[in-house]
Amino acid sequence: MRFAEIETFRALMRSGSTRKAAALLHVTQPAISQSLKRLEAQAGLVLFQRAGGRLVPTPEARALLNEVERVFIGMDAIEHRLRSLRDFGVNQLELSCYPAFGLGFMPRALARLKAHTPGHPWPQVSLQVLSSKDVRERVAVGLSDFGLMADELSLDGIAHSTFAKFPGVVVMPSGHALARFSTVKPAQLAELPFLALNPEDASRRRLDAALAEHGVALRVAVHTPYAASVCEMALRGLGVGLVNPITALDYAERGLVVRKLSVDVSFACLLALPTGKVLSGAAMQFLSLMRLQLADDQKRLRSYLR
């Protein structure tokens, strides 16, 4: 089985036709068809059903695609690493982070790094703000020195520890009826438009379970995968939501009201590392500064919690 045949399969799955796959790979349509025939013959599987001139992937093809994508992530990692070594050498930080920490916290931590190392060469930094799933994949294949991700995914294949864990905070616009309370109770959320994280989010599931114990069901106005979106919408008066406090901190400085919730609904941020990899000196130094930044952020947040 040749790599070109795997590449043809991937192009077909992505494009849905031999014509488009041929254009992607800069080959002829007959070459695509022959490559697919060889792959199916060697595998002993039918990967596409031919229906009305269209190629319809079989369940076996969809299962195979998951493994093929892992191969290409690895190839992308090799190409990325070669370019980085060519352009910057090894004085670099390759970071992946989910949005809850990537949009505000990581830039603050990088500013701390810059202030901590005056007169020293600034490492070449790559900060990729991605979904937790993509963070996990980049760390697993060694494309990132380390990453920060939510606690909702399988941790097989990576080393990990808890970077931060804290109770969520209720966010709302200035002047909201709940703003006069220092702590919000579940019953007070029952009839309000709620800005909710997606149902598959681990903290959302914990919130639903905690409210159910009090006989409360949310009246969801908007679902979103991102805490930053919840904060932005709350700031604009679209409802109230529950988010991790580190994300809320950026918006509190813009006038977002932050309050405690009387039941503990935790948000966990995991530190993910490639298995068996020794962190560089630059990565270890930055990780130490990230922990200092986290402590500072939590102190600042207390000033917004009455």
182 with 44, same domain? no
**Which residue did the predictor score with more confidence, 127 or 119?**
127
63 with 97, same domain? no
CA distances from 149 to 73, 212, 222 (A): 18, 27, 23
54-63, 163-172, 284-293: least confident range: 54-63
Does residue 63 fall inside a structural domain? yes
278 with 161, same domain? yes
- 14-30 tens-digit pLDDT: 888 888 888 888 888 88
154 with 275, same domain? yes
Structural domain tally of the chain? 3
Does residue 53 fall inside a structural domain? yes
30-58: average pLDDT? 83
- 63-122 tens-digit pLDDT: 888 888 877 777 777 777 667 656 545 568 999 999 999 999 999 999 999 998 776 677
Instruction: Tell me the pLDDT band of 244, cut-offs 50, 70 and 90.
Output: very high
211-221: average pLDDT? 95
Does residue 263 fall inside a structural domain? yes
178 with 251, same domain? yes
pTM (2 decimals)?
0.69
176 with 263, same domain? yes
Does residue 84 fall inside a structural domain? no
DSSP 40: H
235 with 189, same domain? yes
206 with 250, same domain? yes
| Closest C-alpha among 222, 225, 164, 214 to residue 193 | 222
| Closest C-alpha among 105, 274, 100, 290 to residue 201 | 100
Instruction: Give the model's pLDDT for residue 248.
Output: 95
Does residue 82 fall inside a structural domain? no
Helix (H, G, I), strand (E, B) or coil at 192: coil
Average pLDDT over the chain, rounded to whole?
89
Instruction: Give the model's pLDDT for residue 220.
Output: 96
Give the CATH number, domain containing residue 251.
Answer: 3.40.190.290
% residues pLDDT > 90 (the chain): 58
151 with 276, same domain? yes
User: How many other β-carbons are positioned within 10 Å of the β-carbon of residue 129?
Assistant: 17
101 with 170, same domain? no
Give the CATH number, domain containing residue 139.
Answer: 3.40.190.10
**Which residue did the predictor score with more confidence, 57 or 138?**
138
Does residue 136 fall inside a structural domain? yes
135 with 194, same domain? no
Instruction: Tell me the pLDDT band of 7, cut-offs 50, 70 and 90.
Output: confident
Unique residue bearing structure tokens 């190839």: 75
Structure tokens at 270: 């995991």
Does residue 79 fall inside a structural domain? no
Instruction: Tell me the pLDDT band of 156, cut-offs 50, 70 and 90.
Output: confident
| Closest C-alpha among 206, 208, 209, 215 to residue 187 | 215
- The 3-class secondary structure across 185-223, one letter per residue, is CHHHHCCCEEEEECCCCHHHHHHHHHHHCCCCCCEEEEE
**Which residue did the predictor score with more confidence, 153 or 193?**
193
Instruction: Tell me the pLDDT band of 4, cut-offs 50, 70 and 90.
Output: confident
151 with 174, same domain? no
- Print the domain residue range for 142: 89-165+269-302
Does residue 137 fall inside a structural domain? yes
231-258: average pLDDT? 95
Unique residue bearing structure tokens 């409802």: 239
- 272-293 tens-digit pLDDT: 999 988 888 889 999 999 999 9
